[in-house]
Chain A
Amino acid sequence: GAGVSQSPRYKVAKRGQDVALRCDPISGHVSLFWYQQALGQGPEFLTYFQNEAQLDKSGLPSDRFFAERPEGSVSTLKIQRTQQEDSAVYLCASSYGQGTLSGANVLTFGAGSRLTVL
């Protein structure tokens, strides 16, 4: 597609429910990132994929958070047993580059999935 697509755009969950957030990156983009953006804050890194390989998950806040990208395109971020502190906007971003200079590559962000846990 022309941009990074995320769904759902808005999700309200009761505490303890599991949620799944989907990211459809730009076709052909090798790198995919998930970020968490709390209200009034900058995005915080969660995890990074290069194709289907999850190369960095150091930002995942707990073992309740799980991400996958099984075929190297669409990615799903799953949060189990949601808690109120999980309320945030979850941003997905993708980029074409994968090499040692990939830090210079431009990330294209989706509009985000806003999760509210009651």
Chain B
Amino acid sequence: AQSVTQLGSHVSVSEGALVLLRCNYSSSVPPYLFWYVQYPNQGLQLLLKYTTGATLVKGINGFEAEFKKSETSFHLTKPSAHMSDAAEYFCAVSADTGRRALTFGSGTRLQVQP
């Protein structure tokens, strides 16, 4: 079984400030980890993914995430928030290759204050 916990359903930062969105997962096998972003009335768009190899993963729009196996975490960061980053962010895990489905967290809504 696999699960994802996103701490904080709402996060508010000032424009230019650090963005940190937290994600912890549970998995009985080595996981594949993903971050997706969802803008209002749009589908989910992939920000970045971790499969194997380098544990620090860089994605689009200046976001990056670090896989920490010892902490079972995959937190998403961006050094400097932009107004256009305001959206809903979902962490997801795929750990059952037989099932092939993603399990999503409940999401974190990011607000960026001017």
Contacts and interface: CB of A to CB of B under 8 A. Distances in A.
Contacts of A109: 36, 43-45
Nearest to A103: B94
Nearest to B108: A42
Given A42-B104, A43-B104, A45-B103, A100 B43 contact: no
A53 interface: no
A56 B100 CA distance: 9
Contacts of A48: 99-101
Contacts of B96: 103
B42 A107 contact: no
Nearest to A110: B43
Nearest to A33: B101
A100 B105 contact: no
A103 B32 contact: yes
A12 interface: no
A101 B51 CA distance: 10
Interface range for A: 20 to 34
A31 B100 contact: yes
B46 interface: yes
Nearest to A98: B100
B102 A107 contact: yes
Interface string A44-60: 11001000000110010
Contact of B105 (A40, A42, A55): A42
A66 B51 CA distance: 32
Interface of A: 4, 31, 33, 35, 40-45, 48, 55-56, 59, 91, 93, 100-104, 106-112
Interface of B: 4, 9, 32, 36, 41-46, 49, 51, 90, 92, 94-97, 99-107
17 contacts: A31-B100, A35-B104, A42-B104, A42-B106, A43-B90, A44-B104, A48-B99, A55-B100, A101-B51, A102-B97, A102-B100, A103-B95, A103-B97, A103-B100, A104-B49, A104-B51, A109-B36
